Amino acid sequence: MELLGCLLPEDRLYDLEESVWWSNDPADGTATVGILGTLGAFAGPIRAFSFRPQAGPVARGRSVGTIESVRYTGAVRLPVDATIVARNDRLPVAPRLLNDLPYTDGWVVRVRAARPEDPSRLLESAAAISARLEERIRTQRIRCWPQTPDLELVEIGLECSAVLTKLTEEVARQPVGAAVLLVTDDPTSPIEMVRWSDQSGYPVLTHRAEGILHQFLVRKVADPRPRRRGSEGRV
User: Along the chain (235 residues), what's the average pLDDT of each consecutive run of 10 residues?
Assistant: 95 98 94 97 96 89 96 96 96 96 97 96 98 97 92 87 89 94 92 93 94 94 79 47
Residues 102 and 210 in one domain: no
Residues 13 and 123 in one domain: yes
Helix (H, G, I), strand (E, B) or coil at 30: strand
Q: What is the Cα–Cα distance from 214 to 202, expressed in whole angstroms?
A: 18
Per the domain annotation, does 209 fall within a domain?
yes
Give me the amino acid identity at 211.
G
CATH number of residue 131's parent domain: 2.40.50.100
pLDDT of residue 232: 46
Residues 101 and 183 in one domain: no
Task: Give me Rg for the CA atoms of the chain.
Answer: 21
pLDDT of residue 162: 83
CATH number of residue 159's parent domain: 3.30.110.40
For 168, counting Cβ atoms within 10 Å of its Cβ (0-12 exposed, 13-18 middle, 19+ buried), the class is middle
From 139, 170, 197, the end of a domain falls on 139
Q: Return all residues near 25 (Cβ < 8 A) that are at least 6 apart.
A: 31, 32, 110
Per the domain annotation, does 89 fall within a domain?
yes
Q: What is the Cα–Cα distance from 67 to 110, expressed in whole angstroms?
A: 17
Per the domain annotation, does 225 fall within a domain?
no
Residues 126 and 215 in one domain: no
pLDDT of residue 161: 76
Sign of CA dihedral 85, 91, 97, 102: positive
Backbone angles phi, psi at 25, to 5 degrees: -115, 100
Per the domain annotation, does 33 fall within a domain?
yes
pLDDT of residue 129: 98
pLDDT of residue 160: 75
Sign of CA dihedral 115, 113, 54, 46: negative
The closest of 135, 59, 51 to 89, measured between CA atoms, is 51
Q: Return all residues near 124 (Cβ < 8 A) that are at least 6 apart.
A: 13, 14, 15, 16
Backbone angles phi, psi at 118, to 5 degrees: -65, -45
pLDDT of residue 229: 52
The closest of 182, 180, 185 to 158, measured between CA atoms, is 185
Per the domain annotation, does 145 fall within a domain?
no
Count of domains forming the chain? 2
Residues 66 and 170 in one domain: no
Residues 123 and 155 in one domain: no
